[in-house]
Structures are given as C-alpha cells and as structure tokens.
Amino acid sequence: MNLDKAKKRIAKQVKKGFKGYPQITLSYFGKSAGCATEVVIQFAQSEDEEVQEQRFRSEKDTREDEVIQSALLKIIERANVNSVIEIAGVQIK
C-alpha cells in the first residue's frame, strides 16, 4: 500500500476521537523528537481487560516506513475498533 494512503487512513481514524471500546493506541518512541525508531500499538477490548501490545522497530523513522504504516492500518482495520488514539509527538527513550 502507498505510504501516503496508509497515513491518511490512519489519520482519519485518529481524527474521529474516542468512540468507546475496543480501542487501539499508537505511541512513537525514538532517541530524538525528530525520528521515531519504534512504534507501539496497544489494543484494549474494554476498559477492564488487559492491554495487548505489539512493537515495530526500524532503523529509519517508523512514521515514514511504508511497510510499518501499512501493517498498522491492517491491524486497525482487522480489529474493527471504535477508537484509534495516537499519542502526539515522539517520546524520547
């Protein structure tokens, strides 16, 4: 899938805001604020259940990696979630 298309479809889901559970949360991590070398995707079926987590790492910026962004989009679509939350910015590790 095209990188721009994947990013736009993820952004569209994020823009909807919190609509209840199930929910996916995306968090980006890196050594500097300008380059996210890791993304963590967390899935919560409900507020009371344990959160499932998956991590993707890359040598380059994961936000600009077509394979990773396409994988995130597929996970979001297949999970049939009501809410997609993206933590703003890159958290420094």
Q: What is the mean pLDDT of the chain?
A: 95
43-67 pLDDT, tens digit each: 999 999 999 999 999 999 999 999 9
d(CA 55, CA 41) in angstroms, rounded, equals 6
pTM of the model: 0.91
User: In which element (H, E) is residue 38 found?
Assistant: strand 38-44
Q: Decide if 12 contacts 6 (C-beta within 8 A).
A: no
